[in-house]
Chains A and B, each alone.
Chain A
């Protein structure tokens, strides 16, 4: 919850910053704009139109700048888009790759929280062991993954443990790891009911 609020604040700050940048992009302040419009009115309509067009372009560029920065902020947290018994969109996905040399094994983990202290609900955890030296080597591979989903604190879980779900790592691009579930189902921890699960992950690597 805290992480999401911080992201919203960043976006709104960036928006405000964008507007201020737009206002100063042509070297003009708001009062300058008013003055130039006044001058244009004195000097002629075409001049006003030219000025207005320039301001408009500046505003569009600033807005685009805001969008880019917001996208970057979202990419830093990642996303999970899942469907179990209902859609589950989570605007956070932290990926980690741990290589345990002593066991000649590695582990890919995707979680909806940065660490346990910052865990929020619904919470999702995906775990897959593999043999790879780096995250990049996972690209294009399908791993057997254990998956846990808990919608509320102390509530029941949807989980796949003894029957793992196939997780295909579609791309590893710098800090971003993309993966998708290709089939598989989760079991309810209380009722034992089974439910197909689909979803995609855009995880942010540290």
Chain B
């Protein structure tokens, strides 16, 4: 019989295989499931106070996993009572997972999928244990208890109590009472035939359904209301910002400084101030859009409320796109105002200050719209002083053509690498194949719609085997504060993190070519941006080897986006997404890259591989 148990406990599902061999996992880590630790839970945004429910689900999953692993080691010794207890825990895990979904957390979808995998394992064990003498004795005893008049009366009494609570609109209490009762009955009916289960569940089944549907619908409505209020409080106030900039520009036409809040700010300081406001506003927009996804989505199971269609969105992407166009012109109007007012003597320092503010701001954008709008305004400012305009002209003559050729050379060197793009790598990693459901449809040609159909622990081992240690190329890289890490900006449901290489020599050469010293800064916006991006670690592209894969929920990634992670999305239009439909199930992928080359706009650098670790 123990042999039968062993065979029964042999791998019955992909998740079972993963769970049985994975061993302990670092639950305490605040990381998402990844190629090194596939059992970690998906992070939550916690904007709807899901933390307690998440902790419950996490604890239940850990406990179930540990117990099932222990049973697998010696299945002959498991008692039927223990199996019943695990069965109740699994029901609790399923309810917690659904609650997480109602609260707008993608972790709930993953826990539901994990619970399904655990259920398969438990079902196999239960079938085996039910056939043992101990199991049969347990079943016989359970039948006696369930069929007794006392137990039957207790079930009827509970049904009446729950019904009364429902009528009093005490939905949560009714839900908890009926679940406790059903869990208890269910643990006793575990080894019975389905027709017997139906008999003993009869008194509670109807009221259980009513309590579940009523309570879940009410909870979902509460969550939607709370998210709606949160969105309202954080909706980006684009028009007021544009109005404030217009007022400042009007004032700068006649005065060198203008009152903004409690400060008196010069033109360049105004531009910095409003640029900072723009960053905060953009962060709010990203968060609001994701919170709206959490508000609008249907849930994976039971669907207590129908989803809100895309046209019901609180924040239109087109609004942010238009805002970007308007804002670029507004910021340029600050420079134009100074250009109208400034005396020739003021021009050199004003111009230098504007370059100093604009270069880092442009680093946060992904196109040249802002630069194109600001350049004519800068030219007007320079022209207010004929000698200074001549200096700028000479500087441009001395640097522009070299930059153009440097760009060409960098592009040519990078083009020699024919590795697949990171989009192709993500598609390859998670493309469905046979029993592996992956994240995409077989016909998807781009990874811009990644949906959880299997649990993260089921997906990651297969995906990792497909792409780890493979070469890939990434684009639009921005250096993060601290100078150690960079990120290839989010697009098509993925982003990439990579360590920043040492490019001190190339930066120094660029500074020499651009005739820049500590006393003499760059005299064109083009040169200032070139130097700023080199110092910051902003690159056009990089190539390297994939070292890690991570899965993240789309909603929590952006709904709780921290300011230090804001560089994931460039200032400007919001990252493109498919129409929001069932976004609770949607995820994105993070790749870790060990770079072998980087392409700055104006130089290309190979990165030598680190030497192998010395043998002991």
Interface residues of A (CB under 8 A from B): 96, 98-103, 105-107, 109, 111, 116, 125, 127, 129, 146, 148, 150, 155-157, 159, 161-162, 189-190
Contact = CB atoms under 8 A, between A and B. Distances in A.
Given A98-B397, A103-B517, A157-B408, 18 more contacts: A98-B398, A100-B398, A105-B515, A107-B515, A109-B401, A109-B402, A127-B401, A129-B515, A146-B402, A148-B405, A155-B412, A157-B412, A159-B405, A159-B409, A162-B509, A189-B412, A189-B413, A190-B415
Interface in B368-427: 391, 394-395, 397-399, 401-402, 404-406, 408-409, 412-413, 415-416
A116 to B, nearest CB: 7
B394 A98 contact: yes
26 contacts: A98-B397, A100-B391, A100-B395, A101-B394, A102-B391, A103-B395, A105-B398, A107-B398, A107-B399, A109-B398, A109-B401, A109-B402, A116-B404, A127-B401, A127-B402, A127-B405, A146-B513, A148-B405, A155-B412, A156-B412, A159-B409, A161-B406, A189-B412, A189-B416, A190-B415, A190-B416
B520 interface: yes
A96 B520 CA distance: 23
Interface of A is mostly: strand
A101 B391 contact: yes
B531 to A, nearest CB: 14
Interface of B is mostly: helix
B523 interface: yes
Cβ-closest 10 pairs across A and B: A103-B515, A98-B398, A107-B398, A189-B412, A98-B397, A148-B405, A190-B416, A125-B405, A189-B413, A127-B402
Given A98-B394, A102-B523, A161 B409 contact: yes
Contact of A111 (B401, B408, B415, B517): B401
A148 B411 CA distance: 13
Size band of the B side of the interface? 20 to 34
A99 B395 CA distance: 8
B209 to A, nearest CB: 67
A111 B404 CA distance: 12
B401 A99 contact: no
The CB with the most chain B CB atoms within 10 A, among A146, A156, A161, A162, is that of A161
B412 A102 contact: no
A30 B229 CA distance: 99
Nearest to B393: A98
Given A101-B394, A116-B404, A189 B520 contact: no
B477 to A, nearest CB: 21
A171 to B, nearest CB: 23
B413 A99 contact: no
Contacts of A157: 408-409, 412
A99 B408 contact: no
Contacts of B398: 98, 100, 105-107, 109, 129
A5 B206 CA distance: 92
Contacts of A96: 397
A47 B309 CA distance: 107
B516 to A, nearest CB: 8
Nearest to B413: A189
Contacts of A99: 394
Nearest to A108: B398
Interface string B41-80: 0000000000000000000000000000000000000000
A164 B405 CA distance: 15
Interface string B252-282: 0000000000000000000000000000000
Given A156-B412, A157-B412, A162-B509, A100 B515 contact: yes
